[in-house]
Amino acid sequence: MTDYRGHKRPFKRKMIKQKTVDLSKLVPANTRFTHVIGIDEVGWGAIAGPLVVSAAVLPFVYDNPVIKKTASGVQYGFKDSKRFTTRNSRIAGAAYAKNTVLAHETLLALPEAVYTYGPGKALSYLQRKLVKRLLTKYPNALIVVDGDKSVAGVPKHQQLAVIEADSYVPAVSAASIIAKVTRDEYMIELGAELFPWWEFHKNKGYPTPEHKSKLKAWGPTRIHRMNIDLVKVAFKEKGWYEDGAEATEGHQARSAYS
């Protein structure tokens, strides 16, 4: 590491204590949870690409390690996925999460499912399916969801909806970065293979000014969400953007939404 004059100076390790919430103070005193199943989604505000939901399991009592940044860029501890600033750090964070949690699951809802059922129902379906899978192995787990809406079909006493839980609950932080990297890499791969001109590696399907400009000029691709007014208008004016349409079907067959 060098300073502005080009002189060598030792790398300084940055240490940040991750804030956590004491879940035992948020549940009834007579409950005895052994694990936490954290749930988070990525892609809610996108106009193209899938909605991704991940779940991660940690012990109910879990001391989140101090986050450390070393010369190699390795990160330790769990934190909100939005605090990772580069692709490499996000990939490293997801790898750490997968290797550290007791279990994790990820499901995708493709644009057709989001359009057919609506984003709310698609999200609810994926959450219920993840919870059902993980509760079979961890029946005494507390479900913690990032946001203000609980998971349908799960007893109220067994779950918490916590706003910004991805910043304060390690299991949700782990689910957050796993979902983020899963969706990012999906969009990067899909863009490179089928729609290179759309720069999905940059916008990840979110409505950036450049993305909206391309949509208006070219019309939507098969992975744009037809429930979005912006996409509907572009389709009405331009029809489908056909490049990559046939290959998209094969790519989408890999979805976990089933």
The residue assigned the tokens 């999905």 is 200
Burial of 228 (0-12, 13-18, 19+ CB in 10 A): buried
Query: Does 136 fall in a domain?
Result: yes
Query: Does 123 fall in a domain?
Result: yes
Rounded to an integer, what distance in angstroms lies between the CA atom of residue 145 and that of residue 39?
5
Give me the domain span that covers residue 49: 15-190
* Range name among 28-37, 71-80, 126-135 with the lowest pLDDT average: 71-80
Query: Does 178 fall in a domain?
Result: yes
Residues 141-189: tens digit of each pLDDT: 999 999 899 999 999 999 999 998 888 899 999 999 999 999 999 999 9
Total number of domains constituting the chain: 1
Query: Does 218 fall in a domain?
Result: no
Percent of the chain past pLDDT 70, that is, above it, reads 78
Residues 200-228: tens digit of each pLDDT: 999 999 999 999 999 999 999 999 999 99
pLDDT band at 63 (very low <50, low <70, confident <90, very high): confident
The whole-model pTM stands at 0.83
Rounded to an integer, what distance in angstroms lies between the CA atom of residue 52 and that of residue 57?
17
